[in-house]
Amino acid sequence: MKLSKIAEILSINTKNIPDVDIHWLLTDSRSLSFPSGTLFFALKTSRNDGHKYIAELYRQNLRYFVVSEMLDDFKNMPDAVFLNVENTLEALQKLAAFHRSQFQIPVIGITGSNGKTMVKEWLYQLLNKNFRIVRSPRSYNSQIGVPLSVWSLGETTRLGIFEAGISTVNEMEKLQPIVKPTIGIFTNLGDAHQEGFHSLKQKCEEKLKLFSGSEVLIYCSDNKLVDIAVQQANLKAKLFSWGKKSNAVLQVLEVEKKELQTNVTLKYSNKDFDLTIPFTDDASIENALQCVSAMLYLNIDVETIAKRLEKLEPVAMRLEVKEGIRNCLIINDTYNSDLNSLSIALNFLNQQSTSKNLSRTLILSDILQSGYSSDELYTMVAELIATKNIQRFIGIGTEISKNADKFHTEEKYFFTQTDELLKSPLMYEFQNEVVLLKAARSFHFEDILAKLELIVHETTLDVDLNALVNNLNYFRSKLRPETKVMCMVKAFAYGSGAVEVARTLQHHRVDYLAVAVADEGAELRREGIRLPIVVMNPEKGAFGTIFDYKLEPEIYSFRLLDLFMGAAEKQGLTDFPIHIKIDSGMHRLGFEEKDIPVLIEKLQNQNQVKVRSVFSHLAGADTEKFDEFTKQQIETFTRCADMISTPFSHRILRHILNSAGIERFSTYQLDMVRLGIGHYGISALPDVKLDTVCTLKTVILQIKEIKAGETVGYNRNGKITKDSRIGIIPVGYADGFDRHLGNGKGEVFINGYRAKTIGNVSMDLIIVDLTDVPASEGDSVEIFGDNITIQEVSEKLNTIPYEILTSVSRRVKRVYFVN
């Protein structure tokens, strides 16, 4: 809108008013983004006066102001334009009301005590495929927020959704002409903001004034007070009631709550139908039915409503600030995706980064349904970002990527899809920065948040992926260049996190991965792992998963072979890769040497499967006293493998060496080796120290002084023999800290000192003796890592390192590091 037109609307003489375009209205001086196209309203409140910020805004190149008094300072701003009005708030509202009057489109106005924002956001989720929508950013429902929201209506807008809130009488009359809803929704009536009203009845009557000119009012008639007030309000609007009453336009016949969803049976236009709401709380059910009513009024068919309703997502009601990994702060804002909300979020980002002296990073998706051309939109976005001093910018989406040349931050990266960023090494580089996540919901930025946030549980397993690669290369140094490597990532990659470990191994070009069960392999496939994956324990019920995700099963018995060939035949599959397991002496799973002739005959007389490799397990490769037995196993296996390979024309790989075997029997590496515990940092050789891959860490929650003679912990087993200082640590047997490490058997490492456990290990906590340890609450605690090794812990428990690693609970956040 032209500034001269705005002056005319505000009844100001337009002489000497420049004919410039105004795109943005500003009431908060800290939120300035586009000085050249912004008009500032100097609002006066009981606590502040916008006039005192005009000089600073002028220094930031803003030139257009709506004021209610002319200050002496204004004489020092010769090129500034001041529109002098009696009341700047009323001027703002008058301008917004005029702007609204220019649009002959459906507008949904929402009021009520609770649920306004939720209903608005759900309506957006449900209707954005039918309309180009403008909606209130966040909870902009006040005397100031409503006009700022409505100003966003543009030429391409086909539906407006605005919420309006009041805190006392005579406020809604000011908001009604600004929103001017054609469709009204009254969410509910409760005690919120009751202090401004004499009674609930009065508050209800005041709120209903929003709908004085509406075509229809949607409300729940089960609330008797609301129903009576609506009937007595003399509204011209058609009443679209919903509820359990038989006279409701949309009648609720049945509500059945299940564990994760609610099934409702409804009646509309004399037809019954069922819907599923993916929530079970009463508020969400009520909000969802408000949305269903609006969709029915807008002639959306029931089938479409049902499909979309099932996909409703929860709404984050505010910017989420979370602690991130490596001293990052994460601002999660996947709530709105438009220029207004981006500007709001960037202002918040500036606040956070300034207060914490952190660098600024923005991860932004395509902005959908903006109403601007791609060129116009991303020119404005780039200008906005430039004003906020963003050091690193990451754009995700096809449109923003096409406009990459418009962005001029210190660092910039572009990806067409969120998954591309998640799989990028960039995910490991975030440190000492505030990261703003800003996206449309369809980009699933929650997956980025999950990777970057520091889990609430303060116990973490730090996984050094560089150390993993260093260990991989150590074992590779003992192999011939042509020898293939299969890496074990079963059991959640020995507790370290299968997906991240698998990605790293794939990047460093190992040949195979191996998992224990099909579901583990399927997860890797879904995460983009392309390497061949062997399933060591295939179950009959998992054959479908194996086929679907192109996994390769270990076959260890005739029964399993017959079942798998039969399943493959039913699927019409041929030459599906399998791996034959030989029992060379461990006497666990596998075909025995005497079975080989029959096995060969079976394999020759079918075409459903094709043997990719033959392998066996060594029982004691890490123990010198079993060396002769190990060699016997290798001889047995070699005979069996040769027998199987001879009749077939294709190459069948042979492998028997595990991590210890690679170190101690590398002569027998054959065609491939299997690397397991070795690349996680455990060597079979006493003089070899591999890099530490996994470090289990936590913090000191609390420190206490305990007198001699007292006890601590369950069963009073922690007896204090002298005045002591104890620390309570948030790790327990539910995290993987074994109960047998209690009562002084186990230790932790704090600030260069070892601290023994006192008393029993509980599910979530341990207590340690800090009497001689300089420590404070919040200090870092190593459970195992460089200082207390996994080997040491396993020896204390008379077990093996495998068990220690795999015992770390999934509730412990895995944090990954890479240089």
CA 517 remoteness from chain centre: 26
Q: Using CA atoms of 96, 97, 99, 102 in order, give the dihedral in degrees to the nearest 10.
A: 170
pLDDT at 818 over 70: no
More confident residue, 80 or 350: 80
Residue from 121, 117, 118, 64 nearest 95 by CA: 64
pLDDT at position 354 is 58
DSSP code of residue 180: -
CATH code of 256's domain: 3.40.1190.10
pLDDT at 260 over 80: no
pTM of the model: 0.54
Question: For residues 777 and 702, what is the distance between their CA atoms, to the nearest angstrom?
Answer: 5
Backbone angles phi, psi at 448, to 5 degrees: -70, -45
Q: Which helix (H) or strand (E) is 283 found in, with range?
A: helix 282-297
Same domain, 254 and 330: no
Burial 157-173 (b: 16+ CB within 10 A, else e): bebbbbbbbbeeeebbe
Domain presence at residue 689: no
Contact yes or no for 685/791 (Cβ under 8 A): no
Q: Is 503 annotated as a binding residue?
A: no
CATH code of 48's domain: 3.40.1390.10
pLDDT at 389 over 90: no
Q: How many domains does the chain have?
A: 5
Q: Is 588 annotated as a binding residue?
A: yes
Dihedral angle sign, alpha carbons of residues 220, 221, 225, 227: positive
Strand order across the beta sheet in which 753-756 lies: 753-756, 747-750, 780-784, 694-699, 460-464, 813-817
More confident residue, 352 or 185: 185
Instruction: Band the pLDDT of 819: cuts 50, 70, 90.
Output: low
pLDDT at position 167 is 86
Mean of the pLDDT values across residues 160-184? 95
Instruction: Band the pLDDT of 47: cuts 50, 70, 90.
Output: low
Contact yes or no for 247/256 (Cβ under 8 A): no
Same domain, 427 and 469: no
Question: For residues 189 and 292, what is the distance between their CA atoms, to the nearest angstrom?
Answer: 19
Contact yes or no for 284/294 (Cβ under 8 A): no
Residue 714 among the catalytic residues? yes
H helix intervals, 77-197: 88-101, 116-127, 145-150, 172-179
pLDDT at position 455 is 64
Same domain, 362 and 289: no
Q: Do strands 329-333 and 320-323 pair parallel, antiparallel, or not at all (unpaired)?
A: antiparallel
Enclosing domain of residue 72: 3-89
pLDDT at 559 over 80: yes
Question: For residues 723 and 710, what is the distance between their CA atoms, to the nearest angstrom?
Answer: 9
Distances (CA, A) of 346 to 408, 430, 698: 16, 18, 33
Domain presence at residue 316: no
Distances (CA, A) of 407 to 60, 332, 379, 381, 582: 21, 22, 8, 9, 60
Q: Per residue, what are the HEC states of 703-758?
A: EEEECCCCEECHHHCEECCCCEEEEEECCCCCCCCCHHHCCCCCEEEECCEEEEEC
Domain presence at residue 600: yes
Domain presence at residue 685: no
Question: DSSP letters along 486-512, please?
Answer: EEE-HHHHHTT-HHHHHHHHHHTT-SE
Q: Which helix (H) or strand (E) is 699 found in, with range?
A: strand 694-699
Q: Do strands 724-729 and 702-706 pair parallel, antiparallel, or not at all (unpaired)?
A: antiparallel
Same domain, 572 and 548: yes
Same domain, 705 and 606: no
**What average pLDDT does the structure give for the chain?**
92
Mean of the pLDDT values across residues 178-199? 87
Domain presence at residue 579: yes
Mean of the pLDDT values across residues 725-745? 96
CATH code of 509's domain: 3.20.20.10
Same domain, 212 and 276: yes
Contact yes or no for 612/655 (Cβ under 8 A): no
pLDDT at position 372 is 81
Which residues lie closer than 8 Å to 201 by C-beta, 6 or more apart?
Answer: 225, 229
Residue from 431, 422, 426 nearest 412 by CA: 426
pLDDT at 356 over 80: no
Same domain, 646 and 740: no
Mean of the pLDDT values across residues 72-100? 96
Contact yes or no for 694/496 (Cβ under 8 A): yes
Which residues lie closer than 8 Å to 814 by C-beta, 6 or more apart?
Answer: 460, 461, 463, 496, 497, 500
Question: For residues 562 and 578, what is the distance between their CA atoms, to the nearest angstrom?
Answer: 13
Among 109-113, 399-403, 500-504, 656-660, which stretch is predicted with the lowest mean pLDDT?
Answer: 500-504
Same domain, 509 and 615: yes
- Out of 244, 279, 309, pick the residue that ends a domain: 309
Instruction: Band the pLDDT of 406: cuts 50, 70, 90.
Output: very high
Mean of the pLDDT values across residues 241-266? 92
Mean of the pLDDT values across residues 188-215? 87
Same domain, 708 and 633: no
Question: How many CB atoms are closer than 10 A to CB 99?
Answer: 19
Highest mean pLDDT among 39-48, 242-251, 356-365, 369-378: 242-251
Instruction: Band the pLDDT of 185: cuts 50, 70, 90.
Output: very high
Domain presence at residue 454: no
Q: 740 is written with which tokens?
A: 């047998």
Same domain, 587 and 673: yes
The single residue of 94, 203, 490, 581 carrying the catalytic annotation is 490
Highest mean pLDDT among 140-144, 324-328, 788-792: 788-792
Domain presence at residue 458: no
pLDDT per position as a tens digit, 666-682 = 999 999 999 999 999 99
Residue from 330, 289, 370 nearest 118 by CA: 289
Question: How many CB atoms are closer than 10 A to CB 62?
Answer: 23
Question: For residues 652 and 631, what is the distance between their CA atoms, to the nearest angstrom?
Answer: 22
pLDDT at 317 over 60: no
Question: For residues 389 and 395, what is the distance between their CA atoms, to the nearest angstrom?
Answer: 16
- Out of 309, 335, 353, pick the residue that ends a domain: 309
pLDDT at position 355 is 47
CATH code of 804's domain: 2.40.37.10
pLDDT per position as a tens digit, 582-619 = 999 999 999 999 999 999 999 999 999 999 999 999 99
Domain presence at residue 318: no
Same domain, 135 and 177: yes
pLDDT at 352 over 70: no
pLDDT at position 358 is 82
CA 274 remoteness from chain centre: 31
- Percent of the chain whose pLDDT exceeds 70: 97
Same domain, 147 and 213: yes
- CB-count burial class (<10 Å; 0-12, 13-18, 19+) for 215: middle
